[in-house]
Amino acid sequence: MSNTTVSVPQASRLRLKIGPRQLLTAVFAAVGAGAVFLLFNAIIGGQCDSQCVIGTLNQSVRYAAPIALAAYCGLMCERAAVINIGIEGMMLMGSMVGYGVNVYAFTWMKQNGMDAATAGDISRALALGLAVVSSGLLALLHAVVSIRFKADQIISGTVINILAVGLTGYFYRQYLAQNIPPGPGTFPPFDIPLLGQIPLLGAIMFQGQKPIVYFMLVATLLIHYVLFYTPWGLRTRAVGENPRAADTLGVNVYRVRYINVLIGGLLAGFGGAWFTLEAVDVFNPQMTNGLGFIGLAAMIFGNWTPFGALAGALIFGLGNTINTTVSIFRPDIPSQIPQMLPYILTILVLTGFVGRAIPPAADGQPYEKQ
């Protein structure tokens, strides 16, 4: 009896199995989303028609991207038992580097006679690449400190957050605060050919989004495949649950952890680049605004699975979007109130779901080879 009930969540962790539990969850989610919209519509005086609903959801997917990428960073690390609370700092670094490179590379190329359109494309791509690399370097630092030197991973993550605030703040004051040359702007949106035609879903997910959002969606599938269908994923999960067992079978625990933390850092870099290469064409100190931590909440909500984390990120994205829309339609409501929404959601989600979420058993423990 108890055996069967226990094995169900496990099975769902492995495959996208559609069982009664999944159906129930889906029904709850749909009813919940409907209720949120009714409430939302009541607040803004019934001004949200179907077009507005689709628009709001489309916007939610956009806002979900950095949260989901932060969550994927967290889950790649924690599946290999390395806790990473430095995601916030990694994203901040990515967003600063992205912005700076975008603006200055563009200026340099134009000065050297390149036409604006080509220079814009190249500098945005370069900016994205370097944003990802810069975040990856911070991840490497975290990996060395916590894997090689076995330091406390929470402290290492905190140090990375502080370091990122300091470094980005410095570069901001030196180069990005005033007299910035005109840049090429953010990535332009585009539609995905066939997928964009899917009724409803196409308009929400695959129309008018920018590259990092699409990348996030692809990354969900890729991570799911890697974690649950490949030798690498099997080793990662084993290392996260029982590193000694993996070690006795000849799996190099340290290597698995290094690579996963590094991949996590790269994913966080994409999340960081989203802020300055997709959302807005400016950089502010601390503009990631805690989304890295909300990403961790989404990861926990999703029970350390990519699809679960995406669901969590979408909920937070929705909260964020609704808050923006409310402030447009109802300027009389103090903006602080809708702004609290994502954080209230975080608390609700964490209190409601954390009890059932089971982290990898070795999470946060440095591995001592005997």
Q: Which is nearer to other proteins, 27 or 361 (CB)?
A: 361
The C-alpha atoms of residue 63 and residue 321 are separated, in whole angstroms, by 7
According to CB under 8 A, which one of 21, 224, 244, 330 is a site residue for other proteins?
A: 244
Q: Is 5 left (phi over 0), alpha (psi -120 to 50) or beta?
A: alpha
Other beta carbons within 10 angstroms of residue 332's beta carbon come to: 5
* Residue 238 within binding range of other proteins, rule CB under 8 A: yes
Q: Which is nearer to other proteins, 249 or 328 (CB)?
A: 249
Q: Which is nearer to other proteins, 6 or 194 (CB)?
A: 6
Residue with tokens 């700076």: 100
According to CB under 8 A, which one of 247, 254, 284, 330 is a site residue for other proteins?
A: 247
Q: Which is nearer to other proteins, 193 or 355 (CB)?
A: 355
Identify the burial level of 133 via C-beta atoms within 10 angstroms of its C-beta, where 0-12 means exposed, 13-18 middle and 19 or more buried: middle
According to CB under 8 A, which one of 25, 107, 158, 242 is a site residue for other proteins?
A: 242
**Of the ranges 46-54, 239-247, 264-272, 346-354, which one interacts with other proteins (CB under 8 A)?**
239-247
Which x/- pattern, by CB under 8 A, does the window 198-227 give for other proteins? ----------------------------x-
HSE-CB for 218 with a 13 A CA cutoff: 10
Distance of CA 129 to the CA centre of its chain: 17
* Residue 237 within binding range of other proteins, rule CB under 8 A: yes
**Of the ranges 80-88, 99-107, 164-172, 236-244, which one interacts with other proteins (CB under 8 A)?**
236-244
Q: What is the CA radius of gyration of the chain?
A: 21
Other beta carbons within 10 angstroms of residue 304's beta carbon come to: 24
Identify the burial level of 366 via C-beta atoms within 10 angstroms of its C-beta, where 0-12 means exposed, 13-18 middle and 19 or more buried: middle
Q: How far is the CB of 368 from other proteins (least distance, A)?
A: 12
Other beta carbons within 10 angstroms of residue 163's beta carbon come to: 16
* Residue 263 within binding range of other proteins, rule CB under 8 A: no
- Record the tokens describing residue 101, joined without a space: 């490179």
According to CB under 8 A, which one of 121, 152, 241, 281 is a site residue for other proteins?
A: 241
Identify the CA nearest to 61 among candidates 187, 284, 220, 238: 220
* Residue 229 within binding range of other proteins, rule CB under 8 A: yes
Which x/- pattern, by CB under 8 A, does the window 7-46 give for other proteins? x--x--xx--------------------------------
* Residue 351 within binding range of other proteins, rule CB under 8 A: no
According to CB under 8 A, which one of 16, 18, 155, 245 is a site residue for other proteins?
A: 245
Query: Is 88 in a helix, a strand, or coil?
Result: helix
Q: How far is the CB of 233 from other proteins (least distance, A)?
A: 8
* Residue 190 within binding range of other proteins, rule CB under 8 A: no
- Record the tokens describing residue 23, joined without a space: 């159906």
* Residue 336 within binding range of other proteins, rule CB under 8 A: no
Other beta carbons within 10 angstroms of residue 197's beta carbon come to: 13
* Helices and strands in the chain: count of H runs, count of E runs: 14, 0
Query: For binding to other proteins (CB under 8 A), which residues are involved?
Result: 2-3, 6-7, 10, 13-14, 226, 229-232, 234-235, 237-238, 241-242, 244-251, 358, 361, 370
